[in-house]
């Protein structure tokens, strides 16, 4: 211990020295160069909004279903003082919007929150329900330090909630003072009321044991190609709190620093975008402050990727489901995950359905294929392909191909209504392993598809092919 203590004193000495140096420097710096520091106001809402914009509550986009009418203050309920915030959570079929949520924004240029370690607030509800999301850092202007906890269980009594800051030192100028969203998933669609009070930033001193994670804490391995891009996801920070045990928040990319084990294979940007630049293997890891994040993303780069030929048909003659050459129609999903019906297929899960993005070209990679559906019948308009004559698809079998292997396309019209369907099977002779083959199939060949004015599902079905790249799925008019 004697050794340790003397080290201590050395460190203290250094610190003192650096303070002296810093102090003397500060005297020499001109006024103009002094960094602006922003207010450190702690309160966000007490009985009134504190230092927030005039509109106070800024809703999520009503176009996306946010209900702007359910937000108010309530002078008949308060945890402390005389007023609280009242949130009327709408039912999903409310014509004014099926959920409620939005932000409170600092009315100035932002606050310096580096002296705090948590956002805290008190909440209760008219019934035991769930507050879908609550946090800070969403300012509708980049949301750089978005920090939210999900699924906070509310009780009918006032209870304090703690949203730990992933790294307070980064929050030198934050405008996103509070964000929440709530729906009725926890109440079987029944509307209920949430009250919030005493929203503020605090230095609790009891937020400890940080355990950041990327990729949801898992060591994920994916295959990709030169030119491919992948985004790091599943970012979180977990703290132990005195009152609530472990609390995990979703933490924005900007809190993390990323590192590649081999920059000749893959580089990673400050915002977690991985670019595959060579063949080989590279592992992306991250840290948040001094803590290494659990989880990693390993890229096995298979080298150069040959994309499917770029479609050249006139867009006016095309209804595109999945292609970078055209404007795609809205789809419900590129994988319906009919797991209850025995579906094993993975893939179709990335942005816009693309599991891979190589040089900006998105590609679906279905794996463990038995069957998988692309849906256009639930929350999006069905496809009227009455005037179309063909369907096009490019397939690249990503495994050894055997004689007898085949893959079937099935198209369904008016799903769940006056349903009709037809299918066409593509055999091994027309497919290729590790190479693209394009198919232009007359819709007339889909025997049984007597009507195609409301196409709702396109299935890929195979009991012999497990792993396939898919690109450029579109209906067209043969000219």
Nearer to another protein, 3 or 27 (CB): 3
Strands 296-301 and 219-224: parallel
DSSP-assigned states of every residue in 203-263: --S--EEEEEESGGG-EEEEEE-TTBEEE----EEEEEETTTEEEEEEE-GGG-EEEES-T
Residue 404 interacts with another protein (CB under 8 A)?
no
Contacting residue, 245, 340, 342, 404, with another protein by CB under 8 A: 245
Nearer to another protein, 160 or 203 (CB): 203
Tokens 């069957």 label which residue? 371
DSSP-assigned states of every residue in 448-475: T----SSEEEEEEE-SS---EEEEEEEE
* C-alpha 216: how far from chain center: 12
Farthest-apart Cα atoms in the chain, separation: 89
Residue 246 interacts with another protein (CB under 8 A)?
yes
Residue 150 interacts with another protein (CB under 8 A)?
no
- Site size toward another protein (CB under 8 A) is 15
Tokens 């690109």 label which residue? 471
Residue 209 interacts with another protein (CB under 8 A)?
yes
The residue range among 68-76, 90-98, 189-197, 205-213 that interacts with another protein, by the rule CB under 8 A, is 205-213
Q: For another protein, what does the binding mask look like between residues 159 and 198, x meaning CB under 8 A? A: ----------------------------------------
Helix (H, G, I), strand (E, B) or coil at 276: strand
Nearer to another protein, 206 or 343 (CB): 206
17 membership: H or E segment, kind and range: helix 2-28
Q: How far is the CB of 242 from another protein (least distance, A)?
A: 5
Q: How far is the CB of 243 from another protein (least distance, A)?
A: 9
5 membership: H or E segment, kind and range: helix 2-28
Q: How far is the CB of 64 from another protein (least distance, A)?
A: 34
**Tokens, residue 334:** 């590129």
The residue range among 74-82, 133-141, 242-250, 360-368 that interacts with another protein, by the rule CB under 8 A, is 242-250
Residue 211 interacts with another protein (CB under 8 A)?
yes
The residue range among 2-10, 162-170, 228-236, 431-439 that interacts with another protein, by the rule CB under 8 A, is 2-10
**Tokens, residue 161:** 């909630």
Q: How far is the CB of 131 from another protein (least distance, A)?
A: 21
Residue 292 interacts with another protein (CB under 8 A)?
no
Residue 290 interacts with another protein (CB under 8 A)?
no
DSSP-assigned states of every residue in 277-325: -SSEEEEEEEEETTEEPB-EEEEEE-S---PPPPP-S-GGGEEEEE-SS
Q: For another protein, what does the binding mask look like between residues 3 and 42, x meaning CB under 8 A? A: xx--------------------------------------
Residue 205 interacts with another protein (CB under 8 A)?
yes
Residue 217 interacts with another protein (CB under 8 A)?
no
Contact partners, residue 127, CB within 8 Å, separation at least 6: 156, 187, 190, 192
Helix (H, G, I), strand (E, B) or coil at 446: coil
Nearer to another protein, 64 or 219 (CB): 219
Nearer to another protein, 114 or 238 (CB): 238
Binding residues (CB under 8 A) for another protein: these are 1-4, 203-206, 208-209, 211, 240, 242, 245-246
């Amino acid at each position: 211990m004697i050794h340790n203590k003397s080290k201590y004193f050395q460190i203290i000495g250094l610190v003192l020295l650096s303070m002296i140096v810093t102090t003397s420097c500060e005297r020499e710096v001109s006024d103009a160069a002094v960094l602006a520091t922003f207010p450190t106001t702690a309160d966000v809402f007490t009985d009134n909004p504190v230092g927030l914009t005039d509109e106070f509550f800024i809703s999520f986009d009503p176009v996306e279903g946010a209900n702007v009418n359910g937000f108010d203050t309530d002078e008949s309920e308060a945890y402390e003082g005389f007023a609280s915030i009242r949130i009327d959570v709408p039912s999903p079929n409310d014509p004014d919007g099926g959920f409620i949520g939005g932000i409170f924004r600092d009315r100035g240029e932002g606050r310096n929150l580096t002296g705090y370690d948590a956002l805290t607030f008190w909440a209760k509800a008219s019934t035991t329900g769930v507050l879908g999301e609550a946090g800070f850092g969403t300012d509708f202007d980049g949301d750089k330090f978005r920090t939210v906890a999900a699924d906070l269980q509310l009780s009918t009594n006032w209870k304090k909630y703690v949203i730990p800051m992933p790294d307070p030192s980064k929050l030198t100028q934050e405008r996103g003072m509070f964000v929440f969203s709530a729906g009725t998933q926890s109440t079987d669609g029944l509307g209920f009321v949430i009250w919030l009070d005493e929203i503020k930033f605090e230095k609790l001193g009891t937020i400890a044991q940080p355990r950041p994670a990327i990729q949801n804490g898992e060591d994920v391995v994916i295959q990709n190609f030169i030119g491919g891009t992948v985004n790091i996801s599943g970012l979180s920070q977990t703290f132990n709190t005195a009152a609530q045990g472990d609390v995990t928040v979703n933490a924005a990319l900007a809190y993390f620093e990323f590192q590649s084990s081999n920059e000749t294979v893959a580089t990673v940007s400050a915002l977690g975008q991985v670019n595959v630049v060579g063949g080989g293997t590279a592992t992306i890891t991250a840290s948040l402050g001094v803590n290494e994040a659990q989880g990693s993303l390993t890229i096995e780069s298979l080298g150069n990727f040959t994309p499917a030929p770029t479609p050249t048909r006139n867009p006016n003659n095309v209804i595109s489901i999945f292609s970078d050459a055209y404007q795609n129609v809205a789809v419900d999903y590129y994988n319906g995950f009919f797991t209850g019906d025995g579906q094993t297929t993975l893939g179709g899960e990335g942005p816009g359905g693309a599991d891979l993005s190589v040089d900006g070209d998105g590609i679906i990679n279905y794996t463990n294929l038995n069957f998988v559906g692309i849906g256009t019948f639930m929350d999006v308009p069905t496809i009227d392909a009455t005037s179309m004559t063909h369907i096009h698809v490019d397939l690249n079998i990503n495994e050894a191909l055997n004689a007898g292997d085949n893959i079937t396309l099935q198209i369904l019209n008016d799903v769940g209504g006056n349903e009709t369907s037809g299918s066409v099977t593509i055999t091994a002779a027309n497919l290729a392993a590790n190479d693209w083959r394009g198919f232009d199939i007359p819709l007339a060949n889909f025997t049984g598809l007597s009507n195609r004015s409301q196409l709702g599902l396109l299935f890929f079905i195979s009991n012999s092919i497990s792993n396939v790249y898919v690109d450029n799925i579109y209906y067209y008019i043969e000219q």
